[in-house]
Structure formats: C-alpha cells, structure tokens
Chain A
C-alpha cells in the first residue's frame, strides 16, 4: 500500500527509549490511568511496581500498542506509535521483545518452535538450519533443560512456561525488553539466575528493560530505577534510595514492610 513504508529508525537515538505523556486509559467508567507520564532511559532497567490492579499490565499493553489509550501520547525509540499501521511499525516491533504475564505461549507449537516464530516472521530469509540452532540455544540460555525444547507448553510446569516465554521474548536479541512479572513462579535459584541473565544481557547488549515485578529481590538486585504506580499515575520514579527518602505511605510500606526490609541489602 502507498504510504505504508516502514518507519526508518535512528540507531543512534539517545533520547528516552520510551516516552509516555498524559496517558489516559479506561474500561467503561473505570479509569485505570489518568494523566500518566513516564520516561525510560536508554540502557536502564526500570522496575515498575504497584499494588495488584493498579494498571501495570495495562500500561505495558498501551506502550506496545495492544491497548488504545483514550488520550495521551506514547513514543518508543522516539517514534509515536499511536494510529500507525502494523506495516509501518514493523521496524520498531522488531526491536522489542515481550513477556506476557500469563506466558502466552502458542499451545500448538513446541517450545523451540515458539522461539522460532518471531525469527521467522521478522527474518524470513534466515537459513532454516541456523534458525533452528538459534532457537535451541535460546531455549537453553533462558535456563530450561535441553530436553524441554521439543516439548509442548502443556507438558511444562508453571515456572518452565515462564522461562519459555522469556526465551521467546529474547528471540530477536531485542534492544528493549518488556517483562511482566518474569520471576513470579520461579524458584529462588531460578529467579536469581534470571536476574543475572537480565543484568548480563543489559550490560553486553546495552538492553533497555521495562520490568514489572512484585519481587523485591529483583528490584534490589538489578533495577537502576523504580517507577511506582498508584492513584492512576506514576507517583514517583527514582533509585530505591531516592524512593525511600520520600514519605509517601505506600512507598514506605512497600520497601519498609517486613518483606521489604528482608530483601534490602545489608548495610555494611
């Protein structure tokens, strides 16, 4: 179609990777977000926290274009995505990977084939044999045992599904990674391994990560900054120390509650 050429992008773009301005989302009369602003800087791991039902998943869905906001603007890599067709945004969608809260694996494909789907969609010309190899090692990179690759999602445990979802999100070596509660349902060893994998990828590939989590250990271990969602807005963004200096009751409760204190690194 005329005018549907993919947006060219600028790899040297240095502004905020994600820029959300004045976002408003609602379901019927129920307003989830109102006048929400958020910037995610290049190369950082941004933790997003908030009580259950405060709209973290909905925020992620509106950034990646699955939920059409009522108002406001969303820019990713400096390009506004609202009102653009799939054909126009393909170059941008190639550059991000998404892990959904429920895993969202394709149930009729094996784990390795799930990982191959985005590769085949975006790089159809890649050598078939090499594509299989990439898929197989991505599966192992996400911490699954090698014999999990030819299994179907219904044959996996809950935590293994999560890892398979991570493998699919990492399939394209994205520059921007959206993770919705990646460590929920993982054993502590697996969760720690996931933390170090994320850190490793962020440092070597310069990855930017939008990480929704309830896992205080993950927040302390790998997040550069944390955004707090409450009252339909992002009420604060900053390092954990900066957040602790604020006297918002919810933030204090969150980081200084019994669990928050346990997860905090011991002061020397």
Chain B
C-alpha cells in the first residue's frame, strides 16, 4: 500500500570478527515498519550488534524500536548516521510511562464493587433528589422575598421551549391515542351492544389519566433530557463554577426557571392533550359509530364528572416538578467527560418516567380514597 516508502527488514549476519549482528535495511519509519516489531520481539537472543548502515530514512518510531530492541537484547547499535544517532539518543532519554490505562480490578471484586456502588447510588440519588428539592424551595422562598430578582426572561424562554414548542408533537400523539382508545373501545363494547359507552371511556380515561401521563412522559423525554444535557455540558466547561464565583446561584439562574416552566407548562399541556385526545375519539366515533360531534360533546359533558378534570390538573404540576428535578439534579452531578453527560441524561429520563408512573399509582389510590372516582 505504501508505494513511496521502502519497507524495512532485517537479516542476521556474522561479521568478520565473529560478532552476531542484525543488519537493518529500508526505511525505519511508522509507515514502512510493517511487522518488524513483532518479528524482533519474537527473535531468539544471542545478538550482540544492531547494524543500521543500510537504513534510509528513520523517524522516532524507528528510533524507539532500535533503542528498545538494543536494550532488551543487550546489543550495541552501530553504523547509524548522525540523524539516527541523534534520534536514538533523544528517545532513549525519556523513560516510558507505566501503562496506558489504570489497572483493571479483579473481576470478582469488580462485580461485588458494582453491586455495592449501585446500591449506595440508589440511596444517595434518592437523598440527593430530596436535598435538591429542598434547595430549589429555598431559592424559591428567597426569590419570593425579593421578587425583583426573578429572571423573567429566562422563565419565559423556558415556557417557550418546554411548552409552546411541544404543542405539535404532544397534540399529534394525543390525537392518535384518542383515536386508538375509541377504536378499541368500540370494538370491545360492541360485543355487549354497549358501544355508546365509548364516549365515557374516551372522556374519562384521557382527562383523568392518559392526557397528563402521556404528556409527562413526552416532556420527560423532550425537556428532562435537555435540562440534564444543558446543565451537564455547562458543568464540563466550568460555566457553573464561573457563575458561583461571580456570586450567581446556579440553582436560581438555571434550575428555578426550568422548574417553574415545567410545573406551569405541564398542566396546560396535559389539559390540551386531553382535549385533543377527545377530539380524536370524537372523530372516530363519528366515522365508526355514527355519533355526530354535537351529540358526542354533550355526552362528554354529561358523563365526565368535573372531578376528573381536577384529578388531571392536580397531578400535572407534581409530574412537572419531578421531571425538572430529575433533569437538573442529574445535570448538576456531571463530572469528567462527555460520556458522563450521556449517562446522566439517560438517568434523568429513566428516573423521571419511573417516578411519574409510581406517583401516578399513588394518586389513583388517593383520589379513589377521597371519593373522587
């Protein structure tokens, strides 16, 4: 492949005065060195001299190879020109590093270690999230006492990114979900001749549960990950440290706007999602079940209790808070490398979705218990 360079090679020879020597030829450079290093390291001992008289061009890789071979074989180097001698002297003055990676630990220990670390991580994350929530609350009270310091610009910008720009995708998703619920409901309920109850199914399910839940999952994927990646990258570039030294609290400047945007936008998005899902369900009912839209919507008003709307709207800010806390907390934990940003972003989304679903279950039990069923 290397057309222009002379491949390097060596042969064993015995000189006139009975010295066993390796005679090198060709260019000793990174491009032409080929398998010479392998052959040399497998070469049996008994060599007293390395002869460079026939070598053309030599670079530091070649110089290193000669130096190393001479050292390992206890041979002397002869016949090099000025350049080769200088290069070999230059490379032999550095003593090479110990290793290319830190030593890997024993595998058994590593597995035990990972189990232990995962366990402590689960607890420290939980404690960390609670502590982080506390510091957000502190910052919030602080701001309420000095309302002039609220960064409205940042907050409004987050409203736009978290809320307004999510309208399209959340709307599309909800519309399709509304269609699917209505379609499946119609198919199943028709077996009992009760297809008219499709309206109840669509109305109650979306307003009470699915509208907000699906929105929360979408926002966790869209904005929770963005929070973690943005704040994490700022940590890598030392922006957060710079803020602290200037006296700007990162929690006030970065976390609070995102937190506020999430708890305000999620109820709005959730309600919007429910309405769009109902429209989707209504459309399907019209086509499939011949229920005209006017009838569909008046039925919705009859069968959906207003408490369903309250249930949805009560859950949404809590879900928003969880998404913002997980995203920002994981972002603030980033250290070291770009890989950590990726890991933390994943953790932010997974934790947020997990906690949202767990809490949703608690809410279901709670609201039934207080009689809002």
Contacts and interface: CB of A to CB of B under 8 A. Distances in A.
Interface of A: 8-11, 94, 107-108, 110, 112-113, 116, 119, 123, 125-127, 129-130, 132-141, 144, 146-154, 170, 172-173, 200-201, 204-205
Given A127-B37, A140-B95, A134 B61 contact: yes
Contact of A130 (B37, B98, B335): B37
Interface string B85-98: 01100110011111
A172 B65 CA distance: 14
Given A107-B336, A146-B95, A129 B41 contact: yes
The 9 closest A-B pairs by CB, nearest first: A149-B97, A107-B337, A112-B100, A130-B37, A140-B94, A173-B59, A146-B97, A136-B97, A154-B336
Contacts of A141: 60, 90-91, 94
B101 A130 contact: no
B37 A149 contact: no
B30 interface: yes
Interface string B43-80: 00000000000000001110011001000000000000
B335 A154 contact: yes
Given A137-B97, A149-B99, A173-B60, 18 more contacts: A110-B101, A113-B100, A119-B30, A127-B35, A127-B37, A130-B41, A130-B65, A137-B64, A137-B91, A137-B96, A138-B60, A141-B91, A144-B97, A150-B101, A153-B337, A154-B335, A173-B30, A201-B60
A160 to B, nearest CB: 13
Contact of A172 (B30, B37, B101): B30
Interface string B338-360: 11000000000000000000000
B147 interface: no
**Chain B CB within 10 Å, residue with most, of A134, A149, A152, A170:** A134
12 contacts: A108-B337, A112-B100, A123-B30, A127-B35, A130-B37, A141-B90, A151-B102, A154-B336, A154-B337, A172-B30, A205-B59, A205-B87
A150 B100 contact: yes
B108 interface: no
Contacts of A170: 60
Contact of A136 (B87, B90, B96, B335): B96
**Chain A CB within 10 Å, residue with most, of B5, B61, B91:** B61
Contacts of A119: 30
Interface string B4-35: 11000000000000000000000001110111
A114 B92 CA distance: 22
Contact of A132 (B59, B87, B100): B100
A126 B97 contact: no
A147 B38 contact: no
A200 to B, nearest CB: 6
A21 B275 CA distance: 63
A148 B94 contact: no
Contacts of A149: 97-100
A204 B57 CA distance: 11
B247 to A, nearest CB: 24
B160 interface: no
Nearest to B84: A204
B337 A150 contact: no
A200 B97 contact: no
Contacts of A10: 4
Contacts of A153: 337
A28 B211 CA distance: 44
Nearest to B5: A11
B339 A107 contact: yes
Contacts of B361: none
B345 to A, nearest CB: 15
Nearest to B37: A130
A194 B87 CA distance: 16
A150 B102 contact: yes
A149 B101 CA distance: 7
Contacts of B339: 107-108
Given A107-B336, A119-B30, A112 B59 contact: no
B83 interface: yes
Contact of A137 (B31, B41, B86, B94): B94
Contacts of A147: 97-98
**Chain A CB within 10 Å, residue with most, of B3, B87, B91, B97:** B97
Contacts of B34: 125
A146 B98 contact: yes
